[in-house]
Homo-oligomer: A and B are copies of this chain.
Amino acid sequence: MQYDKILLGHGSGGKLSHQLIDELILPYFSNKTLKELNDAAVLDYSGQKMVFSTDSYVVDPIEFPGGDIGKIAVCGTVNDISMMGAKPLFLSVGFIIEEGLPLETLRRILASMHKAAEEAGIQIVTGDTKVVPNGAADKLFINTAGIGVPYTKNIPSGGRAEIGDQIIINGPIAEHGITVMASREGLAMDLALQTDSAPLNGLVEKIMTVSENIHVLRDPTRGGIATTLNEIARQSSVGIRIDENQVPIAPAVASACEILGLDPLYIANEGKMLVICSLDDTHRVLETMRAHKYGRESRIIGSVLKEPKNRVFLKTVIGGQRVIDMLTGEQLPRIC
């Protein structure tokens, strides 16, 4: 590591995060499961496959148009489990609350978690609450961990993208990150922005009924689709081409990105997923996705190529090509 202190960028989900995890954390916890670095671990539990995942949520502000820290804490872990082609069953919740948080705020966030858990059909079965003195944390942090059961033996993984595969996304990008960012500036309402936070397990369940061999499922959260696609390209040792014309983005989000000087490809999503499957499966998967409420605007945005290995490039609107690297540094701290 070139630094002797933790930087904000170490939490970005991008290059510095990868460096921190690869060089500092993994050496202490090295085991086969953790090394795979997917959104969740696949374990053997008494002869049964099991999926296990965790995330902490530190988003600021804790409430924003379309959601709050509670909703993303439930949906985020539900989605991480779903991305392993698994049905989320149980959730744990750990609250770290700053002394002085209004009970009314906590109540709203609990109600929102309850609603999200109900929609996802997941049970919150165990929890923990810590309170820290005023100033020792910022309002509220939530950790969730979840357990799920795989639908199929062919567990999707970032390392399974194959040459010729098609890349589908279930709708417009960058909505979560830009909403949170604009909320901080007091602009989210004016710009009519709203987080895309949603539980994707229902959509994944549908996909799993029409294909038994989805190669990759990933939710492009921190670092956006650019970072997630780079991870996949490296894990699978393939090239990935994205067609800028095909990447869906809402006009309001596009303008907000311009106003705030941000590249939507690097902005976090909380209700989007990338599906990578064989050309043969693509049509069926796409039709199935479009029939689901969280997949109406699904579209093929690119494909998997042999070269250039480990790289993502964008065919731009004007016909050029540019390499899309992983996020470096921290574009948006505390986005989830």
Give the interface centre of A20, A124, A129, A143 by most chain B CB atoms within 10 Å. Answer: A143
| Chain copies in complex | 2
Give complex CA distance A58, B143 in Å: 13
Task: Tell whether A28 pairs with B98 under 8 Å between CB atoms, given A11-B129, A132-B138, A136-B137.
Answer: no
A96 with B58: CB separation less than 8 A: yes
Give the interface centre of A46, A54, A60, A117 by most chain B CB atoms within 10 Å. Answer: A54
A61 in contact (CB, < 8 A): no
Within 8 A of B (CB), among A1-56: 1, 3-12, 17, 20-21, 24-25, 28-29, 31, 33-34, 40-41, 43, 45-46, 48, 50, 52-56
Residue of B nearest to A222 (CB): B130
Contact with B along A103-129 (1 / 0, CB 8 A): 110110011011001000001111111
A90 in contact (CB, < 8 A): yes
Return 28 A-B CB contacts under 8 Å, by A number: A1-B103, A6-B97, A6-B98, A8-B131, A11-B130, A11-B131, A12-B131, A25-B129, A29-B93, A29-B117, A31-B123, A31-B124, A33-B123, A41-B125, A43-B125, A48-B48, A52-B125, A52-B126, A54-B92, A54-B93, A54-B143, A57-B130, A94-B143, A132-B138, A136-B137, A137-B141, A141-B141, A143-B143
